[in-house]
Structures are given as C-alpha cells and as structure tokens.
C-alpha cells in the first residue's frame, strides 16, 4: 500500500457528540467522584471539568465575539507562552472551586453546544487566530486549530474517565481522529534528527515520518517498507504517551520497538499538548 501524505481532517462534527458524552458522564458522578485525583497533576476531577469550562468560555469570547484582553505576562517565546497558559489555567481553577459540581455541569451544558456550533461555522482553510505551537507551526489553518481543540476536549474528558473508572473513549470514531491530529507533533519532535524513515503503528493504523532532501520531515499515512525504526503500541498507550498521561518508567513495557532504538526516542518524547 503506497504512502499517502497526511492532509486536513475535519473534526468539527465530533464536538457535539463528544460533548454529549461529557455531560452524561458528569451528571452520573457522585460527590466523592468530583474530588478524585486525576493524571492531570494536582487537579482533581472538578478542576479538570472547570478547566474545560474555562477554555470554552475563552474561545467563545475571543474568537466568536472578538473580546480579547492583553496578556498579564509578557510573551516573547514558547516558554513564556507556556507560563502564561499555566497562569491562566491556575487562576481560573482556583476561582472555580467556589462553584458546585452542578453549577459547573450546568454551565458546560450551555457553553459546549455554543462552541460546537461555532467551530462548525468556520471555514476550514482560513487562517486560525492561534497557531498550533506543539506542531512547530507559526501559522495554522482553522482545520488544525479545530483539531487541536478536539484533542483538548477528548483528552481532558479521558482524564476524568480514568479517574472515576468510567469507560474510556477508545472506539475508532473518537481515537482515530485524535491520533490523526496528534501525530502532527512528530515532524517537530524530529526537527534536529537525521535518519529514518520512522513508523508509528497503533492498533494496525500506521504513520511514517520521512526525511526529505531539504532536511525537513514529512508525515505520511501508512508504513514505510524501508523503516529504520518502527514503534508499535495500542490506542490506550498512544494517547497516554502523547498527552503526559504515562510515567516514563511505564513507557517501554507498553511499546515494541523494531530497528534503531535511539531513533525512537524523539517519538517517545513527543507531546501533542503544550502544558
């Protein structure tokens, strides 16, 4: 099967059904569930849900309504941008601890459909207001920014599901679009490396990273037959790896590496999230 260059993917239609899964999950939680620790650092379930509310309110305000405030911290590069995002996230989560779980869920029930409708209204190939930095982009089209937002909705919901023991959203309808967006972090992760091709295989789906003559890396769907390195794993491991949900000590037992093991390291360290 020939390799196929990865192209745009439209995840906008997934927002409404994914949001429905979230509301059903939150409505079914008990009081103790809201206080359970999660894999999102010090955040508990209620903090992750409040963070989702924050990001939805911010995107609707800034992108839909044009309501933008200057940053409280100076942004002059990637690290200062991460610091700003961390600060905004932390201040909101601290304030949201004043809200009851019911209020958080009621608010999400309003903001989720509004944002789902908004992303479906966007032109997929228009310039996005914010580039997808974890992919190394300085400018992105809307389809990629929307896909980034889909990965945020999905992986934060998975943090909640993981914490409360709810079924994980690993069906192909959810996971395949997530991985199609997430693997676009790989060319950036290999920017300073030579060699390849590198194949990343997840439950039978494969993506290949090939270095061109101009030294840039290009991502393809399919498995390169002349791969220097192949990393195979399952869907549950793949998302945990890419979204800071798997301690380093647990990575190697959950993947199979064929070929040059050193060339697998950038893939194992790649992240499809900024913080």
Residue-wise pLDDT for 70-79, tens only, equals 666 565 666 7
Residue-wise pLDDT for 240-258, tens only, equals 999 999 998 999 999 999 9
In CATH, the architecture of 10-169 is Up-down Bundle (1.20)
Q: Which residues contact 271 (CB under 8 A, 6 or more apart)?
A: 134, 185, 242, 243, 244
Task: Determine the Cα–Cα distance for residues 57 and 62; give it in Å rounded to an integer.
Answer: 9
Task: Determine the Cα–Cα distance for residues 73 and 84; give it in Å rounded to an integer.
Answer: 6
Tell me the mean pLDDT in the region 94-100: 94
Task: Determine the Cα–Cα distance for residues 73 and 261; give it in Å rounded to an integer.
Answer: 40
Q: Do you know the residue count of the chain?
A: 275
Nearest to 50 by CA among 147, 164, 156: 156
Dihedral, CA of residue 244, residue 95, residue 146 and residue 241, to nearest 10: 10
Count of CB atoms within 10 A of residue 100's CB?
A: 10
Considering the domain 185-269 in this protein, what is its CATH number?
3.30.1050.10
The half-sphere exposure of 232 on its side-chain side, counting CA atoms within 13 A, is 10
Which strands form 198-202's sheet, in the order they lie side by side?
Answer: 4-5, 217-221, 205-211, 198-202, 229-233, 256-259
H/E run at residue 257? strand 256-259
Predicted pLDDT of residue 7: 95
Q: Which residues contact 205 (CB under 8 A, 6 or more apart)?
A: 176, 179
CB 168, CB 101: distance < 8 Å: no
What are the residue ranges of CATH 1.20.120.450 in the chain? 10-169
**Tokens linked to 20:** 């429905």
What are the residue ranges of CATH 3.30.1050.10 in the chain? 185-269
Dihedral, CA of residue 133, residue 136, residue 140 and residue 144, to nearest 10: -80
Residue 167 above 60 pLDDT?
yes
Task: Determine the Cα–Cα distance for residues 259 and 108; give it in Å rounded to an integer.
Answer: 46
Best mean pLDDT range from 19-23, 95-99, 134-138, 192-196: 19-23
Map residue 223 onto helix, strand or coil. coil
Residue 81 above 80 pLDDT?
no
Burial zone of 71 (CB within 10 Å; 0-12 exposed, 13-18 middle, 19+ buried): middle
Residue-wise pLDDT for 128-148, tens only, equals 999 999 999 999 999 999 999
Q: Tell me the β-bridge partners of 231.
A: 200, 257
Map residue 211 onto helix, strand or coil. strand
Tell me the mean pLDDT in the region 150-166: 98
CB 238, CB 205: distance < 8 Å: no
Predicted pLDDT of residue 88: 81
Tell me which residue has tokens 């991985």: 179
Nearest to 123 by CA among 94, 143, 147, 104: 143
Residue-wise pLDDT for 198-252, tens only, equals 999 999 999 999 998 778 999 999 999 999 999 999 999 999 999 999 998 999 9
């Amino acid at each position: 099967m020939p390799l196929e260059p990865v192209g745009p993917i439209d995840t906008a239609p997934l927002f409404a059904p994914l949001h429905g899964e979230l509301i059903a999950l939150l409505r079914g939680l008990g009081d103790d569930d809201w206080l359970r620790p999660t894999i999102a650092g010090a955040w508990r379930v209620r903090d992750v849900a409040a963070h989702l509310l924050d990001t939805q309110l911010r995107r609707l305000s800034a992108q839909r309504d044009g309501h933008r405030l200057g940053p409280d911290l100076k942004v002059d590069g990637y690290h200062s941008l991460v610091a700003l995002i961390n600060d905004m996230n932390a201040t909101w989560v601290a304030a949201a601890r004043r809200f009851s779980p019911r209020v958080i869920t009621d608010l999400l029930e309003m903001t989720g459909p509004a944002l789902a409708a908004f992303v479906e209204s966007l032109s997929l190939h228009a310039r996005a207001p914010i580039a997808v930095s974890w992919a190394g982009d300085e400018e992105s089209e809307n389809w990629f920014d929307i896909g980034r937002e889909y990965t945020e909705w999905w992986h934060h919901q998975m943090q909640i599901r993981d914490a409360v023991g709810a079924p994980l959203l690993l069906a192909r309808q959810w996971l395949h679009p997530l991985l199609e967006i997430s693997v676009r972090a790989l060319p950036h992760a290999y920017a300073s490396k030579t060699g390849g091709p590198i194949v990343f295989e997840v439950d039978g789906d494969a993506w290949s990273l090939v270095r061109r003559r101009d030294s840039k890396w290009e991502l393809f769907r399919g498995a390169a037959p002349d791969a220097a390195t192949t990393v195979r794993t399952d869907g549950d491991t793949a998302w945990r790896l890419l979204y800071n949900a798997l301690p380093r000590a647990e990575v190697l037992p959950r993947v199979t590496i064929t070929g040059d093991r050193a060339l697998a390291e950038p893939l194992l360290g790649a992240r499809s999230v900024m913080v």
